[in-house]
Amino acid sequence: MQIVTVASKAYSDQRPGTSGLRKSVVTFQQEHYLENFVQSLFDVLDGYVGKTLILGGDGRFFNLTAIQVIIRMAVAAGFGRIVVGHDGLLSTPAASHLIRKNKAFGGIILSASHNPGGPDGDLGIKFNTANGGPAQEALTEAIFQHSLKIAHYHFADIPEVPLDCIDQHSFGHTIIDVVDPVADYAQLMQELFDFSAIKSLIDNGFQVCFDAMHAITGPYAKKILGEQLGINQENLLNCEPKADFGGGHPDPNLTYAHELAERMLSDTAPDFGAASDGDGDRNMILGRQCFVNPSDSLAVIAANATLIPAYKNGLSGVARSMPTSAAIDVVAKQLGIDCYETPTGWKFFGNLLDANKITLCGEESFGTGSNHVREKDGIWAVLCWLNIVAVKKQSVSEILLAHWQRFGKHVYTRHDYQGVETTSAKNLVEHLLNNLINLSDKQFDNYTIKTADEFSYTDPIDGSISEHQGIRLLFKNGARIIFRLSGTGTSGATLRVYIEDYCTDSNQYNENTQSYLKPLIHIADKIAGIKMHTGMKIPTVIT
């Protein structure tokens, strides 16, 4: 087996974002582009020779090509074992589980999550460390700095590894195991949840509909929800993974999961609906004619966690990303446990989970998870809700109403302005930052600002500091407006505006969210000049 060294040229745009390096497929197809990034990763890592690497992705276009490149480079780098999913498939939470179960050195996950796929779509690559979670900022920054000066990369001159059958292959000192991407994860879910209670619920006529959006969770849904829990296969929608996600946008929200949303909000809706995204880490939960806000979903799961076998002894603590609503804060206070506020990005939960400071965590961007892996987990969230419904014997809407009556309701929305010209987006943020000092104690209609700041985070475990994590306007009555530029897009900028108000009047719990928040939406535009800076009269997506 020959190790080949290829002279290369550096690229200047390979700084990973909150979830790895995401670019268009066309960008990744540039000569040396993918190889440079992978070699930069291997060059800054240490101690992996002879160790295990987990590898897989969400099945989007170019994944199979990229996986073969990574296998050849990982063999050249000296990994002792490479575990890759059958057909290159592996959901992000399943990859995290395999890293932990195999005590692997780490894993490479190929996904751009909820971004569109296909030849004109996006691709992503990220490295997860030995705890199963995304690499911390210090490592991703080191990768980027190395990528600016890289001059060559190495690969093993080996034939293409067949990924279409479960088998084992050997090249030099490296063993390559092609494995069932679902089996180990499905076993883990059986250990966490009361499958007999959920199956009994299904057998007694509880109707469940799940939409995999032609993405990675299709095989997981067929195995777990279909074969093991008995959900009718006709109610498992779009469960064949496709390289372009069937031409759709694999983002589980009311805009893009419209087939499921229309079914669940109709007069003949099933009892329960759910969807997951491109790589399987996000989720959307719906009841009959009822949408569960992701922030509420996290709070409800926390409030009812002891009904789930894995959490029957209670929670050590909880955490949420800064833009996520404070609904979980109220639950934590009543439960007498700590609640941590972190920047956006699942990697910030890792240290808290490893130190057993928290058991559950979540983000408003349709992501919830627990200490079972170190990623958010879509199928896990669906099973949480089904387990809670099975025990409480209440509908989704009844569970939500009971929760609000106990804890109050955090009326919450996120407005995304996608594809904003980058300079315009930066000007908007600069305008806000320059005016923060003038906003404290300023009154807008019936709302008075208590604090206006730019959020920064000091990790309570390792002391690392993360700055410039979003602009917060905190009002004296508990309302909040958050402005943040997202790091998950691949063209232009995405401005995200998070708007929240706290309501304890049960007579208003069923009021339309956008109507209820209209005064704060107007205040957000007035302060930030959203229409003026972006040229957009309405958001691209409202969730």
Q: Which residues are catalytic?
A: 113
236 in Cβ contact with 109 (< 8 Å): no
Q: Where are the alpha helices (DSSP H) in 78-181?
A: 92-101, 137-147
Residue 260, SS3? helix
415 in Cβ contact with 496 (< 8 Å): yes
| Interatomic CA distance for residues 113 and 334, integer angstroms | 34
**Residues 6 or more apart in contact with residue 510 via CB below 8 angstroms:** none
| Interatomic CA distance for residues 207 and 201, integer angstroms | 9
Beta bridge partners of 493: 420
End-to-end Cα distance, the chain: 53
| Interatomic CA distance for residues 65 and 447, integer angstroms | 54
| Interatomic CA distance for residues 105 and 78, integer angstroms | 12
| Interatomic CA distance for residues 131 and 141, integer angstroms | 19
422 in Cβ contact with 490 (< 8 Å): no
Residue 248, SS3? coil
Burial of 160 (0-12, 13-18, 19+ CB in 10 A): exposed
Residue 108, SS3? strand
| Interatomic CA distance for residues 420 and 309, integer angstroms | 45
Q: Where are the alpha helices (DSSP H) in 414-539?
A: 422-435, 513-516, 518-528, 530-534
In Å, what is the CA distance from 287 to each residue of 65, 107, 274? Answer: 40, 36, 9
Task: Write phi, then psi, for 20 (nearest 5 degrees).
Answer: 90, -165
| Torsional class of 87: left (φ above 0), alpha (ψ -120 to 50), beta (otherwise) | left
